[in-house]
Amino acid sequence: MLIFDRAGRTLRGNAQAVRLFGYTGDELLTLVIEDLMPPRYHERYRRYSADYLEDPRARAMSECLELWARRKDGTEFPCEISLNYDSAGDAPIVLASVRDVTVRRKVETDLLEARDRLKRAVEAGKVGLWERDLRTNQIVVSPEWKRQNGYADHEIVDDFHEWRSHVHPDDDAILRRALEALLSGAASDCELKYRVRHKDGSYRHVLTRYTAVRDEDVTPVKLCGSDIDITEYVSLQAQSLQAQKMESIGRLAGGVAHDFNNLLTVINGTADLALNHLRPEDPLHEDLVEIRAAGERAAALTRQLLAFSRRQILTSEVLDLNAIVVGISDMLRRLIGEHIELRCALAGGLGGVRADRTQLEQIVMNLAVNARDAMPQGGALVIETCDIEMDEIAAVSHPSVQPGPYVMLAVTDTGVGMDEATRMRIFEPFFTTKESGEGTGLGLATVYGIVKQSGGSIWAYSEPGRGTTFKIYLPRTDVAPAPPRPVVDRTVVAGRGETILLVEDDSAVRRLARRFLVSAGYTVLEAGNGDEALLMAGRTDGAIDLLLTDVIMPGMIGSELAARLHEVSPGLRVLYASGYTDDVILRRGVLENTAAFLAKPYTRDELTRKVRKMLDG
């Protein structure tokens, strides 16, 4: 408390004033009001003082602006002041009560900063806040909540039942049970996921967390909660799970194909040998032809399984995707039929892609067949190509795609389309929506495997009744595309007595391969594994011209055997054969030279032609 005269001189100050300003009692009595305030307030004080003395009256602290006072040591502190004018005595005086609000000001500042941090965190986290009054069923929502649901301020109705009508029908019971548990006290708070209809009509996935506010009677009166749009997260999670499932199925398919190829090598090869010794009029000839045809169909099936499981050997070269499409366009027109229009929108100056020519043609053919089957009443099939730059933002929605330059191939039909449940399974092997006997369910699985093994990605976009679009992204290269390959000469050249070391752990396949090679004029040394092959090579007096070995064998794999033999015979040529072309093993010296690989099942002509090529090379 301080007392001043009309001129602003200090007449008295209590002990609190002494502590607050840092002066002694005697020092206070020598001061005027200006000495107790920062210089920047002096002119303002003089104007205020003149006005106050013309109309002196009590002024409470709540009526005063917060000011800054000045201590003896020059430091300043925020304060509030109340004034009372007393004219009862001989000389009028002004009584001033001064209150230090430093602590309150700091608390308010901290509160504002905390509120600002919370606001920034809510905005950065895209958290929508909401409250529901349980007595009136009115709701209050934050701007972010409105944004998540696609509404402007004036479009939001504050009635809870209106909002409830936007919840997905399948999720309404989940919300109701959670709310009942919270209101009954069985749960202290609630966290669950549900779907809500956006303004655009789509359903968004939401993670909501809320709790109940209770009155003094512990009766719930309000719900306070937050919503986070997790639609993108749910989509990415589904993609990740689908990729894991496809990888598991792929490993299984690759293993089945490996074993099946060994069996088919024997079945088809033995049938060929038998047919070579029978005349067409022989009663067994027709039966063997049927066996051979069934074997070819089975071999095609295993090739599709290997394509899906990404365990094929690809002959990669830089290709012009436009040239691929143009080269098979006549075949595509015959394939899809006259009732479907084929349109090609091929971008000029298209970049090259590194892939297998035959496999790229297979991709386009399989997608065309899939489109044809989706348009039984006719329609249009559109094939598009273009260069595209996949930036980091676009790559976020497709986890398997790395940012960078790509060539896009899009195949679109105007057919029946498909729902989300079907779309999520279309790349699974043996999954088909066709009638029994109308398809193997491997067409799209094959496409998926080829694209993945070529370093690309494939995505399907479809809705019932609105057709389907498949978009394939293959990494773009600046290397010029390779010229068309020459036609392969299918003439079989017989052996000239060269010695071949045949190493195969499957005895049936080994016996058949030996018969093929001996009948073609080769000398054959055979072994069932790597150790036997090393012993055989050590006991042989003459030179071994070619090593024909299986890739995967117990004890010693083919590339390890080749390395051991190269130590004593550096010029030995090597031809690998396998029905299970697993990338990890093949890259140990096989994939670098795909010309030195023969895929099972193989025929007599394929084997002898490949052996001749190796020996002449």
Per-residue confidence (pLDDT) for residue 62, from 0 to 100: 47
Contact predicate 417/466, CB 8 Å: yes
Contact present, 531 and 555 (Cβ < 8 Å) = yes
- Among residues 224, 213, 26, 35, the alpha carbon closest in space to that of 128 is found at 224
The whole-angstrom separation of Cα 27 and Cα 23 is: 6
What six digits make up the tokens of 468?
């389907």
Give the pLDDT band of residue 23 (cuts 50, 70, 90): very high
Range 125-229 classified under CATH 3.30.450.20: yes
Task: Tell me what the mean pLDDT of segment 334-342 comes to.
Answer: 89
Q: How confident is the model at residue 585 (pLDDT cuts 50, 70, 90)?
A: very low
- pLDDT recorded at residue 251: 65
Mean pLDDT of 387-406: 76
Choose the CATH number for 2-106 among 3.40.1030.10, 3.30.450.20, 3.50.50.60, 1.10.3720.10.
Answer: 3.30.450.20
- When mean pLDDT is compared over 433-442, 533-542, 591-600, the highest value belongs to 533-542
- Which CATH number does 316-477 carry? 3.30.565.10
Confidence of residue 589 (pLDDT cuts 50, 70, 90): very low
Report how far residue 569's alpha carbon sits from residue 557's, in angstroms, rounded to the nearest whole number: 18
Whether 227 contacts 130, CB under 8 Å? yes
Q: Give per-residue burial for 510-543: e unless 16+ CB within 10 Å, then b.
A: bbbbbebbeebebebbbbbbbeebbebbeeeeee
Domain 2-106 and domain 316-477, same fold? Reply is no
Of 308, 245, 254, the closest CA to residue 450 belongs to 308
- Residues 162-186 have pLDDT tens digits of 888 888 988 988 888 888 888 888 8
For the stretch 436-482, pLDDT in tens is: 555 556 778 888 888 888 889 888 888 888 899 999 999 999 888 76
Which residue from 398, 100, 29 is spatially nearest to 232, judged by alpha carbons? 398
Q: Mean pLDDT across the stretch 564-585?
A: 78
pLDDT at 559 over 50: yes
Please give the pLDDT value at position 246: 64
What is the structure's pLDDT at 484?
Answer: 60
| Mean pLDDT, all residues of the chain | 82
**Does the structure show a pLDDT above 80 at 541?**
yes
Write a three-state SS string for 446-515. HHHHHHHHCCCEEEEEECCCCCEEEEEEEEEECCCCCCCCCCCCCCCCCCCCCEEEEECCCHHHHHHHHH
The most confident of the ranges 187-191, 367-371, 545-549 is: 545-549
587 pLDDT more than 50: no
| Beta pairing, strands 404-413 & 93-100 | unpaired
Contact 560, 540 (CB under 8 A): no
| Residue given tokens 């998926």 in the structure block | 448
Q: Residue 65: which pLDDT band, with cuts at 50, 70 and 90? A: low
Lowest mean pLDDT among 210-214, 290-294, 565-569: 290-294
* Domains of the chain, residue spans: 2-106, 125-229, 316-477, 499-616
Residue 529 has pLDDT above 90, yes or no: yes
pLDDT at 157: 73
The CATH number of 499-616 is which of 3.90.79.10, 3.40.50.2300, 3.30.750.24, 3.40.50.300?
A: 3.40.50.2300
